[in-house]
Amino acid sequence: MWTRESLHELAAGELRDYHFVVVSNREPYIHSHALGTIHCDMPPSGLTAALDPVMRACGGTWVAHGSGNADRETVDANDRVGVPPEDPRYTIRRVWLSKEEEDGYYYGVSNDALWPLCHIAYTRPTFNDDEWKVYRAVNERFARAVLQEVGGGQAFVFVQDYHLTLLPRILREANPNLVVAQFWHIPWPNREAFRVCPWQNEILEGLLGNHLLGFHIRYHCNNFLETVDRSIEARVDYDRYEVIRGGKKTEVKPFPISIDFEEVSARAREPGVEAEMERLRKSLELDDWIIGMGLDRIDYTKGIPDRLRAIDRFLERNPEYRGRLVFIQTGVPSRVHVPAYRRINDEIDTLIEETNWKYETGHWRPIIDLRGPLSPLTVMALRRLSHFAIVSSLHDGMNLVAKEFVASSVDEDKVLILSEFTGAARELTDALLVNPYAADEVAEAIKAAVEMPLEERQRRMRRMRAVVQENNVYKWAADIVAKMVKIGSGG
């Protein structure tokens, strides 16, 4: 079983002669002004949740966009700052972007073109050539920062996600001593879906700068190989999962991401959680109701309206649960500068209002809307209070919310309703797997969840906990680091 310690040993031994550099759009720690002082926070994101423990174990440098309003005041003359602030274990090197650059590269190409392109959620991508020029320039800016950090020496560079598709090629051409890997946190769609992208060849050539390209599941690897095979001049080896282009090899492999199971379980058991549960019971007037929860970054891929429609359908079909079951929807709004995200927030508002209006009696209403930033303690107390959770993504690379719910279920007495279109569904086969587009099917799963006998709830949850405990984030990181080391040594 991989642990923070064994990963640390691996990193200290194998990465001894190398500099380890992570590159991502989002920084793991943001400095901002609040109430007259400077705060340092970890923004909620799957990526940060997964990589911060890894960086603490490996040390090194994390290159990222400095987006906090106190970020410039907290770096040194070389734009560097040590984190975590109370006990610095690694360095953030901040890259600065203007509002126009953020608009074209982050909101435009990354989240209004590539995100909808890769998620089959029936939201149309927008392709704008001016934004693409900005995206290209920003990728070059990140490349310059990485090359400065590593100098001419040997280094492992681990790039994150779809914001930086052009970076690997620039790095590999500029410094042959680098081993470059990239992890793609979202799905890779089939070739038919990808071919509408006007910049497809440049993106593929950029990604083939990597020595190693990782996806969550084999299905996404297959989609990528097929896309390359049918789009550009390259030799694709389907048996070895490799692409050779211009004499350079890219290995394409699955690495299912995960969470720090032990830490989440330990946090679920902290004494403060029970007090917070009590506070929530009182302030939300929860009585002895059956509680379901959803926790998501507000995104149209997460299927939040679909889940709310399923709650409506459930109450319509099972009137005996009116006044007895409540669903708490939480989560933070994100990417609100992109029109599709504003629309999804409005749609959720309307659905919650209509459903509550339809069924509410006395102080009971079926849906409690807790959107907005919540403290980790409150999120944990909500998980512990819940009898079931719904993760209803229309398409999701992995989905860490599902794994966090499993790790928090220390009473082994909760049910997970999980979309079959998440990467997590491949591992969490003891969840109640559903098609989120089918409201009746999800409504039936809610009924099955609340009526499931205790023994079956425990049996399913124990098995899922064992899976997440074994396939934890340290295993994800160790597998990638070990593979990078093997590539670095010519293997």
What is the contact surface with ligand GDG in residues (CB under 6 A)? 44-47, 49-50, 185-186, 257, 295-297, 330-332, 373-374, 376, 379, 396-401, 404
Bridge-based pairing of strands 235-237 and 242-245 is antiparallel
Helix axes 400-408, 454-470, angle to 10 degrees: 120
Classify 399 in phi/psi space as left (phi over 0), alpha (psi -120 to 50) or beta.
Answer: left
Collapsed DSSP state (helix, strand, coil) of residue 323 = coil
Q: How far is the CB of 185 from ligand GDG (least distance, A)?
A: 4
What residue is closest to ligand GDG based on CB? 46
Q: How far is the CB of 109 from ligand GDG (least distance, A)?
A: 17
- Sign of the CA dihedral running 418, 421, 422, 428: positive
Contact 84, 113 (CB under 8 A): no
Q: In what order do the strands lie in the sheet with 325-331?
A: 367-371, 325-331, 290-295, 388-391, 415-419, 432-434
Q: How far is the CB of 348 from ligand GDG (least distance, A)?
A: 14
CB of 152 or CB of 373, closer to ligand GDG: 373
CB of 170 or CB of 468, closer to ligand GDG: 468
CB of 26 or CB of 459, closer to ligand GDG: 26
Q: How far is the CB of 341 from ligand GDG (least distance, A)?
A: 12
Mention every residue, 6+ apart, whose C-beta is less than 8 A from residue 365: 326, 356, 359
Q: How far is the CB of 47 from ligand GDG (least distance, A)?
A: 5
Q: How far is the CB of 416 from ligand GDG (least distance, A)?
A: 13
CB of 92 or CB of 391, closer to ligand GDG: 391
Collapsed DSSP state (helix, strand, coil) of residue 419 = strand
CA dihedral 12, 14, 20, 22 (to 10 degrees): -100
Contact 134, 112 (CB under 8 A): no
Q: How far is the CB of 2 from ligand GDG (least distance, A)?
A: 17
Of 46, 169, 189, nearest to 114 by C-alpha is 189
